[in-house]
Structures are given as structure tokens and as C-alpha cells.
Amino acid sequence: MNYLKTAILLAGLTALFMGVGYLIGGGSGAIIALLIAAATNLFAYWNSDRMVLSMYGAHEVDARAAPDLVGLVATLAARAGLPMPRVFLMDNPQPNAFATGRNPENAAVAVTTGLVQSLSREELSGVIAHELAHVKNHDTLLMTITATIAGAISMLAQFGMFFGGHRDNNNGPGIIGSIAMMILAPLGAMLVQMAISRTREYAADDLGARIAGQPMWLASALVKIAGAAHEIPNEEAERNPATAHLFIINPLSGRGMDSLFSTHPSTENRIAELQRLAAEMGAGTAPPLRPRRGPWSVPRGSGAAPRRPWG
């Protein structure tokens, strides 16, 4: 059902994009709009991961720089049947994380220093498993496509308002209808994008909990992350709000309302689903994680003080 809803929403977003193109240039405008969408998505397909990682100043870490983190990612990736993704650390006190990459073979998982310093090993495993679920479900590519199309709709709508829309079609909506469409289309695109994002978050919670083996590890992490997001600003996210849907919890406000304008489901609703899943799976289903070996070490140059998050 989640995949069907996502397909319908994505088809609606594409139709909305072509509709704006039609209002600007008639039938040829719709075709041009579709070509623009293909070109922008092709660019995003190859470059979106590098762009978003650079945007957040993420730096790659290896087993020597962050052995606990990289080892945990490797364990969970193997459990999920995925290739080992690249691991990145963001020097940000707000606990949060996201995954990116065009496919599982070119995936990356990025976490903040605030995340690894504030969660237990079990909670962190729940978060990383959630991000790996996005990779396994190919959500990283899907969300890049939806964000690109939504952005292109806003761009075309502004272009259409400037030129007044397609006036040669006597059976069309007319100038008033065209202007209304130009105003409402970006809003509709934003709502569809957010609906897709919320649908994929529930799916990633479910699969991620199964990968980790214990749904309540992720539930406990969500409570901590959502609470901290209220208190600790993420300046990079504030400057780039279009990327908010990538994170496990909204980095802009951490609001827990399942509202029309939220990129994420409410934390309460997500926890309720995880509790239901935990009851379904039964207690004691989580395979043991390897013990932590030595204290946590933050890579040199990160600007963060070393701490031991996994006591």
C-alpha cells in the first residue's frame, strides 16, 4: 500500500508539472516541461549526494577515525543485505542523520556529532538501521526526484506568472485561471512532496526496526532526537530548508504535529507504530551487537570534544 500511494503521488506530481508547462506554452509547453524535468533529474541523479553532503560540511570517516561508528554501520549493512555505504560525520550539535546516494552501491550515511554523543549504542543502531532502510527501499533516489520536480514546478510557475501564461487556448482556464494555477501549483507540489516523504518515513521505520531487530531502540532514539531538535538549532538546515525531508527528524523545528505542512509524521504516531511492531515481533528478538571496543573518538579537525556515547 505504501508503494502504491507513493506511485500515485509521484504520478500526480509529474502531471502537475506538465500542467504548469501547458499553461505556459500549450501542448509544446507540456512537452518542454517534461524534458526539463528529465534533464534536472538526470543532473540530480549523478550529483545530489555530493551536493547535500557538501552543503552540510560532512566529512568521510573510516575505521581508523571512527571505529565504533563504522563498525556498527558495517554490522547493520550486512544484516540488511546491503553493500557497505560510505560513512560521513557532520560537526553539528543537533542529533540527526540522513542517507543519500542514487542506489545501494553508491550510498552514504551521514550522522551528526550530536547524534553519536547523545545516544546509546542500541539507539544509534536503530537510527542507522532506519537510514539503511531508506537505502534498501531506494528512497534516497525517490526523494531526490520529488524534490527536483517540486523545485522545477515552482520555477516554472514563477516563469508563467511573469509571461502571463498561455493565451492562445480559447478553451483553457483563461488568464485568471492561469494565474491561480501558477500560485497554487507550487503549493500543491510542496504538499505532494511532503506526503511522499511521510509515507517513506513510516516504511523506513518498519524495515529499519526489523534490521536492528528491536523496534523500541528506534522509538527511544526518536524521542531523544525530537526533544533535542526543539532546543538545538541546525544552522545549515535553516539555510537549506528544502533538504529537511532527508533527515530522520525535522531539523528545522522538530514539530510533532502530523500536519499538512510537515515533512515528517508525528513522533508520537511513529512510536505508536513501532510499539505495535514490537508487540508483533515479540521480546528478545534482537540479535546481539558486538561490544564497544574502547572510547568513542571524534575525528581530528571536527571541532567537537571527544566523548563516550556508548556506556
- Residues serving a catalytic function are 131
Instruction: Specify binding-site residues.
Output: 130, 134, 201
* Residue matched to cell numbers 514546478: 153
- The vertex-16 CA angle with 11 and 17, nearest 5°, equals 100
The distance of Cα 308 from the centroid of its chain, to the nearest Å, equals: 28
Rg of the chain on CA atoms, in Å: 21
For residue 193, the surrounding DSSP H or E stretch is helix 174-212
Total residue length of the chain: 311
CA atoms 163, 164, 167, 172: torsion sign? positive
Q: Pseudo-torsion of CA 97, 220, 191, 107, nearest 10°?
A: 30
Cell of 49: 549526494
**φ, ψ for residue 49, nearest 5 deg:** -65, -45
Sheet containing 108-112: which strands, arranged edge to edge?
A: 59-61, 86-90, 108-112, 97-100
Q: How far is CA 180 from CA 17, 80, 157, 188, in A?
A: 15, 47, 10, 12
> What share of residues in the chain are helix, strand, coil (percent, to 5)?
65, 5, 30
- Do the strands 97-100 and 108-112 form a parallel or antiparallel pair, or are they unpaired? antiparallel
Q: Which residues are annotated as a binding site for Zn(2+)?
A: 130, 134, 201
